[in-house]
């Protein structure tokens, strides 16, 4: 009788272990599903990854979530940032609401305990924190991305496509980006008198320097960033800087504290051309703001070019939005959604 009970106990334990292995496959078992291969990330590191990547964490670099959608690999997302989950993304891909959101530090880092809990094959990080987010001892590949220019964004799409074995889809989207950027350059290259632009970011007197993504958006749209000489991302400036630069247009990131009225109602700025002509505008936003280093920045460049040069450029932004979201997300916004973006104050 004791021997029978022992056998029964062993069967139960074995069953539990098998079930656990099926539900939470180890890194070793996951890599056995395909031969290992090596990719080169955007730091230049050679990173070994499984032949077939099935589980991906993007929470430490949320834009990587968008790239997963662009290459058609969103079903492999295992851990995302809370910034990835909004009402638009729920309409585009309802399952995103149920994807695990790991706890993160104020700097966006994730503990090793959380990595173990999610058991990814791959974690995408930014190049600036690549060294501190090496999980190779856990059997997890860390792939660093840097998406601080439109060209780097295209390279990032291609790299994520390579990692996820979605090269054809990545190539289609990357080609779409290149064609659109070429079309924008063609339309803006003949502009004789280029408009001066001030871009307000986190605050009214904080602007994008020449090494920040907003600078590249302005340049691609045919404008001149008045703060292009600045470096180090968002640069603090003074009212005196604004008066000296005298921008023709002022654009404001909708993630900051500044609003249009702050410029229009500030008596110190009343002689600035943009203020006198009331050419002060909030950036557009749908999934996220169109002026940050995400795929939607392509729309941001076209919209900005339209605002700067309405007589010379004339992109049909409703049609461009439809093509962009259909091409990149397999989703078509409604006419009401499109109007809500383009006609926002």
Q: At 258, which CATH number?
A: 3.40.50.1980
Q: Do 91 and 133 reside in the same domain of the chain?
A: yes
Give the start-end residues of each E strand in the chain. Answer: 37-40, 46-49, 56-57, 77-79, 122-126, 141-145, 196-200, 206-208, 224-225, 234-236, 249-252, 280-282
Query: Cα separation of 265 and 275, whole Å?
Result: 9
Say whether both 197 and 150 belong to one domain.
no
Do residues 193 and 336 share a domain? Answer: yes
Domain-embedded: residue 221: yes
Would 183 be classed as within a structural domain? no
For residues 162 and 199, membership in a common domain is answered with no
The residue among 122, 137, 168 that closes a domain is: 168
**How many other CB atoms are found less than 10 A from the CB of residue 207?**
29
Whether 6 is in a domain gets the answer no
Neighbours of 287 (CB within 10 A): 22
pTM of the model: 0.86
Q: How far separated are the first and last CA of the chain, in Å rounded?
A: 80
User: CB of 122 within 8 A of CB of 59?
Assistant: no
pLDDT confidence of residue 105 = 76
> Do 117 and 61 belong to one domain?
yes
On whether both 145 and 257 belong to a single domain, the answer is no
User: What is the chain's length?
Assistant: 345
- Give the chain's domain count: 2
The reply to whether 175 falls in a domain is no
289: left (phi over 0), alpha (psi -120 to 50) or beta: beta
pLDDT (tens digit per residue) in 84-107: 999 999 999 999 999 999 987 777
| Residue 10, in any domain of the structure | no
pLDDT of residue 131: 73
Ranges of residues in the chain whose predicted pLDDT is under 70:
1-34
Q: What pLDDT was estimated at residue 129?
A: 77
Specify the pLDDT at position 134. 86
Q: Which residue, 137, 168, 199, sits at the end of a domain?
A: 168
Asked if residues 81 and 58 have their Cβ atoms less than 8 Å apart, the reply is: yes
Q: What is the pLDDT of residue 104?
A: 79
- 164 and 193, same domain (yes or no): no
DSSP collapsed to 3 states, 75-110 = HHEEECCHHHCCHHHHHHCHHHHHCECCCCCCCCCC
* pLDDT tens digits, one per residue of 162-211: 999 999 999 999 999 999 999 999 999 889 899 999 999 999 999 999 99
Whether 17 maps to a domain, the answer reads no
Instruction: Please name the helix (run of DSSP H) or strand (run of DSSP E) that holds residue 27, with its range, or none.
Output: helix 27-31
Are 161 and 195 in a shared domain?
no
pLDDT at 34: 57
In sequence order, the β-bridge partners of residue 206 are 236
Query: Based on the domain organization, do 119 and 236 belong to the same domain?
Result: no
Tell me whether residue 18 is in a domain.
no
106 and 34 housed in the same domain: yes
The number of beta carbons lying within 10 Å of the beta carbon of residue 61 is 25
- What residues pair up with 48 in beta bridges, in sequence order? 38
Q: Which residues have C-beta within 8 Å of that of residue 74, sequence separation ≥ 6? A: 68, 93, 96
Q: Which domain holds residue 40?
A: 25-168
Tell whether 102 is covered by a domain.
Answer: yes
Q: What pLDDT is recorded for position 27?
A: 44
Residue 220 and residue 288 in one domain: yes
One domain for residues 143 and 248:
no
Helix (H) or strand (E) run with residue 265 in it: none
């Amino acid at each position: 009788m004791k021997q029978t009970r022992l056998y029964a106990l062993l069967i139960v334990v074995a069953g539990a272990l098998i079930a656990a292995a099926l539900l939470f496959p180890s890194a070793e078992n996951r890599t056995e599903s395909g031969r290992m291969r090596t990719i080169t990330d955007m730091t230049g590191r050679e990173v070994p990854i499984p032949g077939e990547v099935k589980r991906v964490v993007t929470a430490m670099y949320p834009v990587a979530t968008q790239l997963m959608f662009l290459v058609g690999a969103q079903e492999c997302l295992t851990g995302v940032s809370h910034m990835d989950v909004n009402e638009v993304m729920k309409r585009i891909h309802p399952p995103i609401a149920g994807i695990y959101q790991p706890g993160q530090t104020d700097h966006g880092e994730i503990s090793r305990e959380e990595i173990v809990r999610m058991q990814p094959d791959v974690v995408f990080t930014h190049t600036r924190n690549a060294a501190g987010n090496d999980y190779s001892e856990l059997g997890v590949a860390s792939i660093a991305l840097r998406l601080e220019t439109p060209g780097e964004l295209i390279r990032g799409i291609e790299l994520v496509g390579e990692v996820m074995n979605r090269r054809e889809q990545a190539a289609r989207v990357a080609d779409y980006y290149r064609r659109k950027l070429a079309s924008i350059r063609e339309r803006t290259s003949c502009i004789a008198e280029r408009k001066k632009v001030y871009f307000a970011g986190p605050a009214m007197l904080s602007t994008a320097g020449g090494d920040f993504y907003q600078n590249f958006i302005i340049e691609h749209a045919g404008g001149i960033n008045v703060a292009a000489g600045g470096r180090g991302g968002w640069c603090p400036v003074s009212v005196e800087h604004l008066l000296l630069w005298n921008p023709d247009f002022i654009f404001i990131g909708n993630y900051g504290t500044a609003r249009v009225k702050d410029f229009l109602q500030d008596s110190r700025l009343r002689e600035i051309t943009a203020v006198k002509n009331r050419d002060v505008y909030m950036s557009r936003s749908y999934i996220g703001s169109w002026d940050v280093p995400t795929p939607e920045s392509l729309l941001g460049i076209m919209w900005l070019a339209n605002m700067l040069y309405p007589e010379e450029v004339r992109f049909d932004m409703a049609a461009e939005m439809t093509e962009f979201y259909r091409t990149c997300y397999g989703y078509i916004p409604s006419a009401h959604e499109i109007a809500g973006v383009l006609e926002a104050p």
